Amino acid sequence: MVYVIASLKSNFVIYNNNFMLIYEEKSDKMFLVIKMKVKETNEGIIVSEVSDFEPSHTFLCGQCFRWDEEKDGSFTGIAFSKPVNISYSENVLTIKNINLEEFEKYWRHYLDLDTDYKEIKKAVSVDENVKSAIEFGWGIRILNQEIFECLISFIISTQNQIPRIKKIVAALSELYGKKLEYNGKTYYAFPTLEEMKDIKEDDLIPLKAGYRAGYIVDAVQKLLRGDVNLSELKNLSYADAKAELMKIRGVGPKVADCVLLFSAEKKESFPIDVWVKRTVQTLYLNEKATQKQIESFATEYFGKYAGVAQQYLFYYSRENNLGK
């Protein structure tokens, strides 16, 4: 067995392929970090030592619209122009229809597998309300989605219900996206900006997206002209990234915050929809609390992981009809 010792400022790290032993001089503490074990099979990838993940919590908490539950409890979805099937049991994650290269390039980051959710849970467990929400939705991980798809999907989500959002997103993918086959079924990748470059509002009538069609067209045109640069969002401050997105018609604070949280790695982003607004008003503030007051509260109270706390609270509130 080979061990490697490396220094990290005032710390040192001893590691091999299976674990890292980290000594932090400042606190005089030693941390043992178990690393994931990844194995490639004929069907896909098996990842062991995965904690704090439950597919139903992650895929049904309102952050994505391309995943469907199968009869066996697994989920089939499309991302990165590939249909895959994901299941999880006893700390073992199985992703079918991908290889090791694809896992490392796309799916490891997409599922946020290198983020320590135990530490995030400790950070946001500031009261019994959040602790109850975390206990209920313990397996939520924030997905790192493809940013163009995330933007268009949440524009479609405006004043809409999840079943209808999924239907419109699927129809848009079938209209413009690449046709894919998996397990004897046909799927469609979400279209790229290039594939949607010539769209007009009338072209989107079959989607039955209503006024949102105009917002989609505006987004595509602004991105093509360079008025908005999605690739720079991760490098901008949270406030600047939000302002950049809100240049697009139909992108208000809530849609912008969703895009930043679910595709731009801004975990401080705190999307406020009807459920979240009612929840914060009921549990923390009062029924007259405004959007700005809720935003300020969330930033101050939950800190840099406010968006993760939001997902726990949103999922818990929606599933238990809180604040109605």
Give tens-digit pLDDT for 193-229. Answer: 999 999 999 999 999 999 999 999 999 999 999 999 9
Final residue before a domain boundary, out of 263, 284, 307: 263
Which CATH number do you get for residue 312?
1.10.1670.10
Q: What is the 3-state secondary structure (H, E, C) of 38-100?
A: EEECCCEEEEECCCCCCHHHHHCCCCCCCEEECCCCCEEEEECCEEEEEEEECCEEEEECCCH
Instruction: Look at residue 182 and tell me if it is in a domain.
Output: yes
Q: How far apart are CA 258 and CA 142, in angstroms?
A: 11
Tokens standing for residue 132: 């109850």
From residue 104, alpha-carbon distances to 94, 113, 292 in Å are 14, 11, 39
Region of 44 on the Ramachandran plot (φ > 0 left; ψ -120 to 50 alpha; else beta): left
pTM reported for the whole predicted model: 0.89
Tokens standing for residue 29: 């503490």
Instruction: Look at residue 69 and tell me if it is in a domain.
Output: yes
Q: What is the CA 166 to chain-centroid distance, rounded?
A: 16
Going by the DSSP 8-state scheme, the letter that residue 223 receives in this structure is H
- Say which residues have a Cβ less than 8 Å from residue 310's Cβ, sequence separation at least 6: 261, 270, 271, 276, 298, 302
Q: What is the CA 304 to chain-centroid distance, rounded?
A: 16
Which CATH number do you get for residue 187?
1.10.340.30
Element (H, E) at 257: helix 253-263
In single-letter form, the type of residue at position 135 comes to: E
Q: What is the domain range of residue 199?
A: 147-263
Instruction: Look at residue 24 and tell me if it is in a domain.
Output: yes
Instruction: Look at residue 128 and tell me if it is in a domain.
Output: no
Instruction: Look at residue 139 and tell me if it is in a domain.
Output: no
108 and 49: one domain?
Answer: yes
164 and 230: one domain?
Answer: yes
pLDDT digits (tens, 9 = 90+) for 76-130: 999 999 999 999 999 999 999 999 999 999 999 999 999 999 999 999 999 999 9
Final residue before a domain boundary, out of 89, 114, 139: 114
Helix 147-156 and helix 212-225: axis angle, to 10°?
150
Q: How far apart are CA 213 and CA 225, in angstroms?
A: 19
pLDDT at 24 over 80: no
Average pLDDT estimate for 1-14: 44
Q: How far apart are CA 30 and CA 22, in angstroms?
A: 6
Q: How far apart are CA 275 and CA 61, in angstroms?
A: 12
**pLDDT-based confidence at 22, cuts 50/70/90?**
low
192 and 246: one domain?
Answer: yes
pLDDT at 3 over 90: no
Q: Is 205 helix (H, G, I), strand (E, B) or coil?
A: helix
pLDDT digits (tens, 9 = 90+) for 43-85: 999 999 999 999 999 999 999 999 999 999 999 999 999 999 9
Which CATH number do you get for residue 78?
3.30.310.260
152 and 78: one domain?
Answer: no
286 and 205: one domain?
Answer: no
174 and 252: one domain?
Answer: yes
**pLDDT-based confidence at 35, cuts 50/70/90?**
confident
151 and 250: one domain?
Answer: yes
DSSP readout, 275-298? HHHHHHHHHTS-TT--HHHHHHHH
Q: Which residue has the higher pLDDT, 33 or 299?
A: 299
Number of structural domains in the chain: 4
281 and 206: one domain?
Answer: no
pLDDT digits (tens, 9 = 90+) for 150-171: 999 999 999 999 999 999 999 9
287 and 228: one domain?
Answer: no
217 and 244: one domain?
Answer: yes
104 and 162: one domain?
Answer: no
158 and 246: one domain?
Answer: yes
Q: What is the mean pLDDT of the chain?
A: 91
Burial of 290 (0-12, 13-18, 19+ CB in 10 A): exposed
Q: How far apart are CA 41 and CA 53, in angstroms?
A: 21
